[in-house]
Amino acid sequence: MRYIDKLPDPKGEAAVLGTFVHRILEDLLSLDASDRSVDAARALARTLWDETRDDDDFLGLGLSLEDTTSFMWKAWRLVERYFSLEDPTAVDVVRAEQELSVEISGVPFFGIVDLTERVPSGLRVVDYKTGKSPAARYVDDKLSQVWLYAAALAETHHEVSEVRLMYLTSGPIDRPIDAEAVGEAVDQYRLTWDLLCQSIDAEHFPHKTGPLCNWCPYVDLCPEGAAEAERRYGPRS
């Protein structure tokens, strides 16, 4: 629906909030290390807020004045939380918000890496997360993203030694580089690509229902998803 039919995909509050916080952290980490203070972050937040509040995605949320204030506080609390998790003046930034467009195992890959930083072991790739951290059984799924970043960076001759999912709500999930995990993530990525190509050739796109159907922007166009949402959460209004 999003990529083939190109139907509108209005962003939810969590996504808009995440983008706003990511921009603050990106600009903060782009400053000289000694300038990365809370006051600097506050000044950046003010500047970026002027852009965010006029952005179509934010306007599309239709927030009331009260909800807008709540949105701003939620964003700022995440930034404050960041400072409690990490001293940004000690981060040895290699690149922030790096766009990667490569082929991994012959499959096109595009991603935006939040941060690569020098660490004692070599190079760490970091993805900042503004949502809540996953239950233990889902951590491996979540890590597949940074394993793929490691594979993509290897294509650009940057060997990653560690990966980090930095959950601003709860703290980092760190792993040393694991060739087997990278290989599994790449295999899964290639399998997904193959299935996608088969779907495009056959013009058949099977639904994959799950707990998030209730929040899917296309649920009203998707009988299977609507039924799943009702089964899980009761009648939809």
Chain residues that interact with ligand SF4, rule: CB under 6 A: 207-209, 212-213, 216, 218-219, 222, 224-225
Number of Cβ within 10 Å of residue 105's Cβ equals 13
Nearer to ligand SF4, 72 or 222 (CB): 222
Q: Is 164 helix (H, G, I), strand (E, B) or coil?
A: strand
37 φ, ψ (degrees, to nearest 5): -100, 170
Residue 218 near residue 224 (C-beta atoms within 8 A): no
Least Å distance, CB 234 to ligand SF4, is: 16
Distance CA 229, CA 225 (A): 6
Least Å distance, CB 224 to ligand SF4, is: 6
Residue nearest to ligand SF4 (CB): 225
Nearer to ligand SF4, 120 or 206 (CB): 206
Angle at the Cα of 10 (from 185 to 224), degrees rounded to 5? 70
Least Å distance, CB 227 to ligand SF4, is: 9
Least Å distance, CB 209 to ligand SF4, is: 4
Distance CA 108, CA 192 (A): 12
